[in-house]
Amino acid sequence: MAGARWALLALSVAAAAGTGRAGERLHVCKESEYHYEYTACDSAGSRWRVAVPHAPGLCTGLPDPVRGTECSFSCRAGEFLDMKAQRCRPCAEGTYSLGTGVRFDEWDEVPHGFASVATSLDSDDGFGDAVENCTGSTWVPLGDYVASNTDECTATLMYAVNLKQSGTVSFEYIYPDSSIVFEFFVQNDQCQATVEESRWMRTTEKGWEFHSVELSRGNNVLFWRTTAFSVWSKVPKPVLVRNIGITGVAYTSECFPCKPGTFAAAAGSSSCQPCPANTFSGKGATSCQPCDPDSYAEPGSASCKPRPPCTDKDYFYTHTACDAHGETQLMFKWAEPKVCSEELPQAAKLPPSGGRTRCPPCNPGFAATNGSACQPCPLGSYSNGSGCLSCPAGTEPVLGLEYKWWNVLPPNMETTVLSGINFEYKGIAGWEVAGDYIYTAAGASDNDFMILTLVVPGFSPPSPVLEDTESKEVARITFVFEMICSVNCELYFMVGINSHTNTPVETWTGPRGKQSYTYVVEKNATMSFTWAFQRTPYHEEGRRYTSDVAKLYSINVTNVLGGVASFCRRCAPETSGSCAPCPPGNIMDHGSGTCRPCPPGTYLRGHPSEGPPACHPCGPGTYSNQLRSLCYNNCSAALPLRGRLLRYEFPALAAAAALATGPAFTPRGRRYRHHFRVSLCGPQGRKAAACSDNVTEARLRVVTGYVCQATLVPPDRPRHQGPVSSQPVSLGDRILGVTTSSTLDGITSPPELFPPGHPDLPDIIFFYRSNDVTQPCGAGRATAIRLRCDPLRPGPGTLSVPSKCPEGTCDGCTFHFLWVTGEGCPRCSSSHYRPIVSACLGGIQRTTYVWREPRLCQGGQSLPPQKVRPCRSAEFWLKVGISAGTGAAALLAALAMYFWKKNQKLEYKYSKLVMNAAAKESDLPAPDSCAIMEGEDAEDDLVFATKKSLFGKIKSLTSKRMPDGFDSVPLKTSSGGTAMEL
């Protein structure tokens, strides 16, 4: 209370000072020159009402301050606080109020107090470009609503408000495309986010959705934030927000006038109502004025427009139901709402109706009853449209739904029109039957969405879908369509599960010839399939492109629960006489009508729409699981390497699923991350990689496969919850083979996409296909994973994408990855290490084993332990060498002496021969004792045979030379006298 008194005293002193300074120059204030305000509430919850001039120093003589209402005082919706009387009064006609709140329903410009900013997703962590490159990515006001950005920046719409009491914030929104992550949250004045389970918005499928959040007393900052990301160059639809209302403010001292196109007929209105069609109103209107007969107005219009002359684009044709005679009538109708005039010159007239034609036949599985309506055939029978027939023994009906004749709209289909301006549904048909096709009718405007929805209650597959099978196919839907367009028309195909949000699956733009599309259903639930056609995204007056149409010729859904049959198939008979499907991995033998298992090394593949299933061989490096007859990677492969067979075995991959998370990367211009999960081999062949959409529980979707992709949106505040992953896509759920070849089954993994590896150890390439067939990928998506050995990267290693294709794919259909990990190396063997022998030290020699560099193996054999053996040093062998050399020298000297002796003997004999020859030449008689007679050699032998020592023998062999140069030898006379020397 004391605080309020001091505030009142301060105001009184200020007023007195102003009077003292300029009392003579200022006039007494009139009621129109000032307004009332409340002072701040004191601790007791009291305040004062004071008068404040519209401009400082404008006048004097203001009313004295009086005690104000309690701070908790408030007015109800439709009332305002009359500050003079301090009482709540109802708003006048043509105005409205929220009581203790404010509303923003006009968006010709961003209202005062709002701020729209754009940032990169995580600019300080290297994700994306600088913040200034996103300055143009903001929320844009578009009259009745504000639209988010559609590029890959983060756009935030903010509004700060101070509440005197607890209140709420409510708004309406359109969220048509899950390719945008849309969140709404509230922060207090300490920048702490309030706990809200509804932070992540759900995508909408039926026009505008209402959302409300409670607010606490005090400061509150409201955030509307979007982050868009394009998938394969697809531009998402923007998020739209309108009618933002906030309650809990201090008070509202005035009512707001109704905006043009709306009115408030009664006093005390909390909102204004839009004007009906062909009426208009101005600002603050209490009622709407009708347009002149030659003009028209759309609902909520501020003015009328002149009616254009009718053309052939303003009407359409349809057919009536078949009558008892089996005939139908061709009917022409004006497109609703009718805005054209038939009375103007050159206006087109509605063609006459009533022409009778023969009804088309019933759809397969149906038959005409009483010559008129088509009824489904009973269980156990089939029909081609003319009559119901029972299935033969040993066969069973193939249940489904097939529509190829369009005389009336089937009972499980409905059609409507969604306004492209304010996204509200209209009570008119968007598609019309035309005999052999169904086509889009003329909407209210060219940017309206023409909606057609087919609801299937569930499915009954012929055999149970097993958890560890490669294909989770429960059913499939196939339709044939055509688009005739002169501008940028679009056809959307969406799928909803259990009445939840429709998720866009495929989009076609521009004219398209007659073609077929197939979508595989992988969950047994109530499914809704929706086709939405928009002629142009731009709103223009009148109908200019009514001739742009989309046509559906046929729709075929398989395995429908409670469906009908157009043919019967062979089945394995049971003892009770009924049919049972073949167990997994078994094929029907049409000759005997029994089931037989697929041979080893093959697996069962096929679909009834593609012909009878057959056993196909497994790809290279894989084997068949005989329990399910599905091919799995056996985590080992015998692969040819430069003419020799090298067996790779991956030690960790064989034991458990080795998961790897792709690198968090942000290509230039992106504001998000792609998140990849890969499993080359799971335990017992199970696939262990899974991607899930955790934006909201209602939009939860899990893709389980060998290779899958999600989009990560990391939090921008550390204290907030973990990153959000959305838009899961299966990239490869069926393995084709494991090989070192760059091509398999039409899939090519160019080696130039990645840096080269080791020349002696090629990459092991895992090839996959996905069952998800899309319009640009008619054969489904494909994935090639190069497994490269690097022992320095243990565990999951690193997963990278080509630098030329930062999203992992260059064409949107085939994805390429390089997985570098030690788990991809061959098992170590004796060829991967070498010995090193040390010198002999102290009589010991050591042998150590080391890995060959670079090491290209892991696991397997370990390095052998160090070996130690005794040895002899070099000194020992030196002594042995010297001794052996000395012995060899002595032997060589003895041999030399021996051969020298033999040479002396030969010289002696030679000299005797020379002497005899000289005697013959002189004709002197020679004594017979000097001739060389028989037995002379005995004398020589006698000389050498004398026993002497070794030194004596050597000395006796030495003879003195005569002066003439001849050797002296002892001779005997013939008479036996004393020997004489010659």
In a domain, 4, yes or no: no
Are 577 and 517 in a shared domain? no
Looking at the predicted structure, is the pLDDT value of residue 646 above 60? no
Looking at the predicted structure, is the pLDDT value of residue 247 above 50? yes
Q: How confident is the model at residue 479 (pLDDT cuts 50, 70, 90)?
A: very high
Neighbours of 399 (CB within 10 A): 22
- Token pair, residue 604, equals 């069962």
CA distance 236 to 176: 9
In a domain, 781, yes or no: yes
Looking at residue 388, its amino acid is: C
Q: Which residues, in sequence order, are bridge partners of residue 262?
A: 274
Between residues 918 and 864, the one the model is more confident about: 864
* Most confident residue range from 71-75, 90-94, 713-717: 90-94
- How far CA 737 is from CA of 66, 428, 629, 765, in Å, comes to 88, 53, 15, 8
Looking at the predicted structure, is the pLDDT value of residue 290 above 90? yes
Mean pLDDT across 706-711: 76
Number of residues assigned to the chain: 982
Are 525 and 610 in a shared domain? no
Q: Is the preceding omega at residue 337 within 30 degrees of 0, hence cis? A: yes
The reported pLDDT for the residue numbered 848 is 92
pLDDT digits (tens, 9 = 90+) for 828-845: 888 889 999 888 877 788
- Name the domain boundary from 44, 72, 96: 96
- Name the domain boundary from 630, 648, 673: 630
Are 502 and 516 in a shared domain? yes
Query: Do the beta carbons of residue 489 and residue 450 sit within 8 Å?
Result: no
CA distance 181 to 196: 16
In a domain, 222, yes or no: yes
With 0-12 / 13-18 / 19 or more C-beta atoms within 10 angstroms meaning exposed / middle / buried, residue 310 is: buried
Q: How confident is the model at residue 956 (pLDDT cuts 50, 70, 90)?
A: low
Looking at the predicted structure, is the pLDDT value of residue 400 above 90? yes
**Long-range pairs, 377-383, Cβ under 8 A, ≥24:** 377/564, 377/565, 381/565, 382/564, 382/565, 382/566, 382/567, 382/568, 383/564, 383/565, 383/566
Query: Do the beta carbons of residue 316 and residue 335 sit within 8 Å?
Result: yes
**Per-position DSSP letters for 843-891, written without gaps between them:** TEEEEEEEEPSSP---SBSPPPPPEEEE---HHHHHHHHHHHHHHHHHH
Between residues 651 and 578, the one the model is more confident about: 578
The reported pLDDT for the residue numbered 705 is 66
Q: How confident is the model at residue 582 (pLDDT cuts 50, 70, 90)?
A: confident
Looking at the predicted structure, is the pLDDT value of residue 7 above 50? no
DSSP collapsed to 3 states, 723-777: CEEEEEEEEECEEEEEECCCEECCEECCHHHCCCCCCCCCCEEEEEECCCCCCCC
Are 369 and 428 in a shared domain? yes
**Per-position DSSP letters for 589-640, written without gaps between them:** ETTTTEEEEPPTTEEEE--GGGSS-EEEEPPTTEEEETTTTEEEE-SEEEEE
The reported pLDDT for the residue numbered 444 is 79
The reported pLDDT for the residue numbered 749 is 92
Could you tell me which of 68, 84, 65 has the C-alpha nearest to residue 10?
65
CA distance 746 to 733: 17
Are 609 and 509 in a shared domain? no
The reported pLDDT for the residue numbered 717 is 53
The reported pLDDT for the residue numbered 23 is 42
Looking at the predicted structure, is the pLDDT value of residue 888 above 80? yes
Q: Is 447 left (phi over 0), alpha (psi -120 to 50) or beta?
A: alpha
User: Alpha-carbon dihedral of residues 579, 585, 588, 592, nearest 10 degrees?
Assistant: -100
Mean pLDDT across 395-422: 88
Query: Do the beta carbons of residue 506 and residue 481 sit within 8 Å?
Result: no
User: Which letter, b or e, does each residue of 502-516 get, where b requires 16 or more Cβ atoms within 10 Å of its Cβ?
Assistant: bbbbbbbeeebeeee
- Token pair, residue 244, equals 């933002």
Share of the chain above pLDDT 70, in %: 73
CA distance 520 to 959: 124
pLDDT digits (tens, 9 = 90+) for 367-388: 887 666 788 999 889 998 888 9
End-to-end distance of the chain based on CA atoms, in angstroms?
172
Q: What is the DSSP letter of 505?
A: E
Least confident of 63-72, 361-370, 402-411, 948-957: 948-957
Full domain range(s) for residue 469: 315-568
Q: How confident is the model at residue 627 (pLDDT cuts 50, 70, 90)?
A: low
CA distance 332 to 351: 6
Looking at residue 492, its amino acid is: Y
- Token pair, residue 676, equals 């990849």
The reported pLDDT for the residue numbered 808 is 83
**Per-position DSSP letters for 136-177, written without gaps between them:** T---EE-BSSEE---SSSEEEEEEEEEESS-EEEEEEEE---
The reported pLDDT for the residue numbered 678 is 72
Could you tell me which of 246, 219, 251, 248 has the C-alpha nearest to residue 37?
251
Are 401 and 479 in a shared domain? yes
Looking at residue 331, its amino acid is: M
- How far CA 280 is from CA of 204, 255, 287, 289, in Å, comes to 30, 22, 9, 5
Are 624 and 674 in a shared domain? no
Query: Do the beta carbons of residue 216 and residue 194 sit within 8 Å?
Result: yes
Query: Do the beta carbons of residue 189 and residue 488 sit within 8 Å?
Result: no
Are 771 and 687 in a shared domain? yes
Looking at the predicted structure, is the pLDDT value of residue 94 above 90? yes
- Token pair, residue 710, equals 């999600």
Mean pLDDT across 31-42: 80
In a domain, 245, yes or no: yes
Helix (H/G/I), strand (E/B), else coil: 33: helix
Q: Which residues, in sequence order, are bridge partners of residue 367?
A: 375
With 0-12 / 13-18 / 19 or more C-beta atoms within 10 angstroms meaning exposed / middle / buried, residue 197 is: exposed
Could you tell me which of 815, 736, 808 has the C-alpha nearest to residue 768?
736
Q: How confident is the model at residue 82 (pLDDT cuts 50, 70, 90)?
A: confident
In a domain, 877, yes or no: no
CA neighbours closer than 13 Å in the CB half-sphere of residue 757: 22
- Token pair, residue 125, equals 């962590």
pLDDT digits (tens, 9 = 90+) for 433-478: 888 899 998 877 888 899 999 999 999 887 665 554 556 788 999 9
In a domain, 880, yes or no: no
Could you tell me which of 415, 512, 426 has the C-alpha nearest to residue 775?
512
Are 523 and 537 in a shared domain? yes
Q: Which residues, in sequence order, are bridge partners of residue 273?
A: 263
- How far CA 338 is from CA of 153, 432, 843, in Å, comes to 42, 17, 113
Could you tell me which of 368, 406, 359 has the C-alpha nearest to residue 386?
368
Are 107 and 195 in a shared domain? yes
In a domain, 959, yes or no: no
Q: Taking all residues of the chain, what is their mean pLDDT, rounded to a whole number? A: 77
Least confident of 181-185, 464-468, 850-854: 464-468
Are 582 and 725 in a shared domain? no
In a domain, 255, yes or no: no
- Name the domain boundary from 249, 279, 307: 249
Q: Is the preceding omega at residue 854 within 30 degrees of 0, hence cis? A: yes
Looking at the predicted structure, is the pLDDT value of residue 11 above 80? no
- Token pair, residue 893, equals 């000297």
DSSP H or E segment with residue 482 = strand 475-484
Read off the CATH number of the domain in which 134 is found. Answer: 2.60.120.200
- Token pair, residue 139, equals 């929320």
The reported pLDDT for the residue numbered 940 is 46
Neighbours of 487 (CB within 10 A): 14
pTM: 0.66
User: Alpha-carbon dihedral of residues 178, 151, 801, 631, nearest 10 degrees?
Assistant: 20
CA distance 205 to 961: 141
Could you tell me which of 115, 116, 110 has the C-alpha nearest to residue 136?
116
Looking at residue 631, its amino acid is: C
The reported pLDDT for the residue numbered 602 is 85
Could you tell me which of 786, 792, 787, 764 has the C-alpha nearest to residue 851?
792
**Tokens 């939405």 found at:** 532
Q: Which residues, in sequence order, are bridge partners of residue 595?
A: 588
Share of the chain above pLDDT 90, in %: 18
Are 575 and 564 in a shared domain? no
Q: What is the DSSP letter of 961?
A: B
C-alpha 964: how far from chain center? 121
Least confident of 259-273, 686-700, 745-759: 686-700
Q: How confident is the model at residue 228 (pLDDT cuts 50, 70, 90)?
A: confident
Give how many domains the chain has, as a whole number: 6
The reported pLDDT for the residue numbered 232 is 53
**Tokens 């998402």 found at:** 236
Mean pLDDT across 14-38: 64
Helix (H/G/I), strand (E/B), else coil: 895: helix
Read off the CATH number of the domain in which 692 is found. Answer: 2.70.130.10
